[in-house]
Structure 1
Amino acid sequence: METPRELRSVDQRDVLVSRIEYDDGTVIAADFGGDEVTLDVVGETAIVVAGDRQVEFDLPEGASDVAVNNGTLTIEE
């Protein structure tokens, strides 16, 4: 599973984006640094609002779970 281009291009001074591969899948995590983060998924599009930023991206192929917890967006395969 590839990290969406829109997440890779988020200002890296404010958002830490990691991609972690496990034997049974991949997790992409984007830590928005304490901002209150909301997530809405419409069809295959995720809309993330964190503070005054909004990021929209197509869910990567193979994404099985998308969630937000404590300011961190996770996409799991």
Structure 2
Amino acid sequence: MRLQEQLAQRGIEAVRRDYGDHYELVADFGSAADLSVDVVGDTVIVVIDGETHDIEVDGSAQAFMKNGVLTINVNEDFN
């Protein structure tokens, strides 16, 4: 399942921007949410108000959070 679909199933609207060899996914949770994010292998781990969401990605990912906005950059593996 695609990353954007996984977020949508959790009620999180995300915008995807494609850049050829990688894509970026941006989701705004608002500044009131207690959020953290980490990447372990091919899994992006997002913690929202104490609830953990594991999101599998196809490729290497970087993720960061600023002012309630989650940004995930994924370099797609074309094996």
Q: TM-score range by the shorter chain?
A: 0.5 to 0.7
- Tell me the equivalent position of 2:43: 45
User: TM-score scaled to structure 1, two decimals?
Assistant: 0.67
Q: Percent identity?
A: 31
Distance 1:46 1:64 in 2: 8
1:1-77 paired onto structure 2 within 5 Å: 2-11=2-11, 15-22=12-19, 25-34=22-31, 35-58=33-56, 60-77=57-74
Deviations 1:13-71 (A, max 9, x none): xx33111123563211121122121012222222111225432111x223442211211
User: TM-score scaled to structure 2, two decimals?
Assistant: 0.66
Q: Give the count of matched residue pairs.
A: 72
Q: Which has the bigger relative contact order, CA under 8 A and spacing at least 6? A: 1
Runs (5+) with no aligned partner, structure 2: 75-79
Judge conservation of contact 1:6–1:55 (CA < 8 Å) in 2: no
Q: What is the aligned-residue RMSD (CA, Å)?
A: 2.3
Runs (5+) with no aligned partner, structure 1: none
Judge conservation of contact 1:39–1:49 (CA < 8 Å) in 2: yes
